[in-house]
Structure 1
Amino acid sequence: MIDFSHLQDFLSPVSKSFLNDENEYDDYQIGHVVDLYDEDSIPDFDAAHIILLGVGEQRGGAARKTSHTGPDTIRSEFYRLYHWHRDLKIADAGNLLPGNSLIDAYAAMRTVLTEFIDANKTVIILGGSHDLTYAQYRAYADKKYIIEISVADALIDLMEESSTADTGFLMTMFTEQPNYIRHYNHIGFQSYFVQPRMLETLDKLRFDCFRLGKVRENLEEIEPVLRNTDMFSVDLNMIKHADSPANSLSPNGFSGEEACALSRYAGMSSQLSTYGLYGYNPAKDKDNLTAKQVAQMLWYFMDGRSVKAKEAMLHEKEAFLEFHIAFTDINTTFIKSKKTGRWWMQLPDKQFIPCAYSDYLIASNNEIPERWLRSQERL
C-alpha cells in the first residue's frame, strides 16, 4: 500500500482544465482516463501501472531556476494523445514542490521515488536539468538496491570541475561509497563532444558506451541493453535540433522516430522502474514541438509496457524456442520468445541475459559475441 499522506508535503496538484485550456477531453484521450492528483482528489496509486511525476527543478543546470512550466507543457501534449493501451492504468502524482535549495529538491525527489519503487510501480519523471539523474539514482541507493543504469545523452557528464551540477553528476555517482551501481550503459554519445579519457575511464570500469553512429546503424542492438536496465535517464540533447527545437546542442543526434523506438524498448523492460526525461526548456521550444516529441516518447513507452505485459517468464519453457550452440569450445543455449521474438543467451553460470538475434548469428559462426564476453569480464 502506498501511503500518499506523507508525500503530499512534497507535491503540488495539477489541474486538467488548465492543461486543456478549460476544455473537456475526449473519452478516448489520455487526459480523460489518467488518475490525476488535483485539488479535489488523490489517485489510486495502488491500482496504477505507471505514475507520472513532474520535477521542474533546473537549479543544477545553466538556467539555475525551478518551474512547473516544463512538466505541465509536456503533460498538456501527452494528455491530448489517444489512449490505445486500455490494459494500462496511469496515475499522475503532480509536481514536486521547489525546496529552499537544490539539495532539498534532491532529497524530496528521492523520498517520493522510493515510496513508489518499493510499491513496484514504474515512475516516469518529467524533469528539469539532467543532474536530477543523481537524485533518481539515490532513490535506489538509499534502500541499498544494486541496479543497472542506462543514460542516453550526447554528452558524458563526467567533468571533475564544473560550474553546474548537470555536467559533473556522473563523477559523484561513480565515486561515492558505498556504491550500488552494478553496471552502467551510456547510449548515443557524440564523440566530438567527449574527451577521450572519459571513455577510457568508463571502459576500465567495464561500463559500456555506445556511440551515436553505431547505435543508429542497428537500433535494435540497444533493446537488450534497456531490457536489463533498472533505471533509465534521457537527456533530450540526444535528439537532433531539427526534431527537438528546444535542444540547441547539436544539429546531429537521434531522430524523433529513433527516440520513440528507444522509449518503447525501455517500456518493454521487465526490470525498469524509473524513467527520467530531462533537459526540456519550454522557453526555447518552437510551437511546443519538443513537448510533442516527449509526449510521443511517453506514448511509445506505454506501447512497450503493453508488450512487456504479454511476455512469458523465462521458466515457462513452452513459451520459448531453444537453440543449443557450441562456439570456441563453449556450449551454451539461446532462447527466443514465441510471443515477442526477443532473445536471451546463457552464460557459464547458467544465468540467461538479454541479447539480440545478431549475437546468435555470431555464435553460430563459432565466434564469441561481444555481449557475452563483456558480461563475463564484469563477472
Structure 2
Amino acid sequence: MIDFSHLHDYLSPVSKAELNEDEEYDDLQVGNIIDTYEQGHIPNLDDADVIFLGAGDERGNGRSNPAISTPDVIRKEFYRLFLWHRDLRIADAGNLLPGRSQADAYAALKTVLTELIDAGKTIVILGGSHDLTYAQYQAYACKKYIIEVSVADALIDLNEGSPKKSQRFLLDMFMEQPNYIRHYNHIGFQSYFVQPRMLETLDKLRFDCYRLGKVRENIEEIEPVLRNTDLFSVDICMIKHTDAPSHSLSPNGFTGEEACALSRYAGMSNNLSTYGIYGYDPSKDRDNLTAKQISQMLWYFLDGRSVRHKEAQLNERESFLEFHIAGADISTVFLKSKKTGRWWMQLPDKNFVPCAYSDYLMASNNELPERWLRSQERL
C-alpha cells in the first residue's frame, strides 16, 4: 500500500480549474478521468495502473530557477485529449517540490519513484532537464535492482568537460560502483553531434546504439528493444525542430508520428516501470506545439499499455505460434503471439528474448540475426 502521507512532503498539488481555465472537462477527456492530487483531494494511487509525476527542475541545464510549473503546460494539453482506454486507471501525483539544491531535487525524485516502483506501478515523469534521468536510475540502484536502460536522444550525454549536468549525467550512471545497469540502448543519435570515440567506448561495453537514420528505416525494429527496457528516458531534442519547436538543436530528427510510435512501444513493454520525457522548454515553444506533441506521446503510451494488458505469458504456449529453425549455423525456436503479432527467439541457454519478424526471416535463411549475436555476447 502506498503511503501518500510520506510522499506528501515532496509534492505540490495541481489545479484542474487553472489548467482548463475554469471550464468543465468532457466525461471522456483525460482531465475528467484522471485521479489528480489537488488541494483537498488525495488520489488513490493504489488502484492506478499508470501514475504521472511532474519533475520540472531545470538546474541541470544551468538555470538557477527550478521552473517547476513546466509539467503543467504539458498537462494542460494532455488533460484535453479523449481517453479511449477505459480499462486503464490513471492518476497524477502532482509536481515535485524543487528543494534548495539540485541534489535535493534528485533525492526527492528518487524517493518518490522508489516507493511507487516498489508498489508495482508504472510512472511517467514530466521533466525537467535530462540529467533527472540519473535520479530516475537511482530509484532502482538504491534497491539494487538490475535493469535495462534505454535513452532516446539526438546527443549522447557523455561530455565530461561540460559544466551542465544535463550533458554529462551518463558518465555518473555508467561509472558508479556498484553498477546496476544490465544493458544500455541509445536510440536515435545523430552522428554529426557525437564524438566517434564515445560510440567505440559504448560498443566495448556491449551497449547498443541505434543511429537516427537506421531507426527511421524500420522503426518497428525498436519495439523489441523497448520490450526489454525497465527505464526509458527521452530528450525532446530527439524530435526534429519543426515538430518540437521548443528546442533548436537540429532541423533533423524523429517526426512527431515516429516519436508517438516509440512511446507506444514503451507502453507495450511488460518490463517498463519508469518513462521520463525531458528537455521541454515552454518559453521557447510556439503555440504550445511541443506540449501538444508530448501530450500525444503520452496518449500513445497509454494506448501501448492497453495492448500490454492483452498479451499472454510465454508459458501459455497455446497463445503462440511456434517455429523451429534447424540450420548449419543456428538452431532455435521462434514464438509469435497470436494476440499482438510480436516475436520472441530462444537463445542457447533456453531463455527467450524479444525479437522482430526480420530476425525470423534471417534465421530461416540460415543467417545469424545480429540481435541473437549481441544477446549471446552479453551472456
SS at match of 2:341: coil
RMSD: 0.7
**5+ unaligned residues in a row in structure 1: which ranges?**
none
Contact 2:62 2:164 in 1 (8 A): yes
Amino acid at match of 1:81: L
Give yes or no for the alignment of 1:92 onto 2:102: no
Aligned to 1:149: 149
Aligned to 1:200: 200
Aligned to 1:286: 286
- In the aligned structure 2, how far is the partner of 1:64 from the partner of 1:219? 38
1:293-372 equivalences under 5 Å are: 293-372=293-372
Q: TM-score, normalised by structure 2?
A: 0.99
Aligned to 1:189: 189
- In the aligned structure 2, how far is the partner of 1:291 from the partner of 1:63? 20
Q: TM-score, normalised by structure 1?
A: 0.99
Q: What does the per-residue CA deviation read over 1:162-221, in whole Å, with 9 as the maximum and x for residues that have no partner?
A: 210000000110001000000000000000000000000000000000000000000000
Give yes or no for the alignment of 1:115 onto 2:115: yes
Amino acid at match of 2:234: V
Q: Closer, same or farther in 2 for the Cα pair 1:299/1:239, shift >3 Å?
A: same
Contact 2:330 2:368 in 1 (8 A): no
Amino acid at match of 2:223: E
SS at match of 1:253: coil
Aligned to 2:209: 209
Question: Offset of 1:235 from its aligned partner?
Answer: 0.1
Q: Number of matched residues?
A: 379
Question: Offset of 1:161 from its aligned partner?
Answer: 1.9
SS at match of 1:126: strand
Contact 2:245 2:289 in 1 (8 A): yes
Give yes or no for the alignment of 1:50 onto 2:56: no
- In the aligned structure 2, how far is the partner of 1:253 from the partner of 1:110? 30
- In the aligned structure 2, how far is the partner of 1:308 from the partner of 1:248? 35
- In the aligned structure 1, how far is the partner of 2:160 from the partner of 2:132? 17
SS at match of 2:248: coil
- In the aligned structure 1, how far is the partner of 2:340 from the partner of 2:312? 9
Q: What does the per-residue CA deviation read over 1:106-155, in whole Å, with 9 as the maximum and x for residues that have no partner?
A: 00000000000000100000000000000000000000000000000000
Aligned to 1:101: 101
Question: Offset of 1:25 from its aligned partner?
Answer: 0.4
Contact 1:149 1:181 in 2 (8 A): yes
Amino acid at match of 1:253: G
SS at match of 2:6: coil
- In the aligned structure 2, how far is the partner of 1:40 from the partner of 1:218? 48
Aligned to 1:235: 235
Aligned to 2:61: 61
1:212-291 equivalences under 5 Å are: 212-291=212-291
Amino acid at match of 2:164: T
Aligned to 1:132: 132
Question: Offset of 1:326 from its aligned partner?
Answer: 2.0
Question: Offset of 1:311 from its aligned partner?
Answer: 0.3
Question: Offset of 1:70 from its aligned partner?
Answer: 1.4
- In the aligned structure 2, how far is the partner of 1:107 from the partner of 1:81? 32
SS at match of 1:46: coil
Question: Offset of 1:328 from its aligned partner?
Answer: 3.4
SS at match of 1:47: coil
Question: Offset of 1:63 from its aligned partner?
Answer: 3.1
- In the aligned structure 2, how far is the partner of 1:211 from the partner of 1:167? 19
Aligned to 1:175: 175
Amino acid at match of 1:65: N
Amino acid at match of 1:208: D
Question: Offset of 1:272 from its aligned partner?
Answer: 0.1
Q: What does the per-residue CA deviation read over 1:327-348, in whole Å, with 9 as the maximum and x for residues that have no partner?
A: 4343210000000000000000
Amino acid at match of 1:165: K
SS at match of 2:331: strand
- In the aligned structure 1, how far is the partner of 2:233 from the partner of 2:64? 20
Question: Offset of 1:257 from its aligned partner?
Answer: 0.2
Question: Offset of 1:65 from its aligned partner?
Answer: 2.4
Question: Offset of 1:64 from its aligned partner?
Answer: 3.8
Question: Offset of 1:232 from its aligned partner?
Answer: 0.1
- In the aligned structure 1, how far is the partner of 2:314 from the partner of 2:43? 33
- In the aligned structure 2, how far is the partner of 1:180 from the partner of 1:24? 46
Amino acid at match of 2:158: L
Amino acid at match of 1:142: C
Question: Offset of 1:90 from its aligned partner?
Answer: 0.6
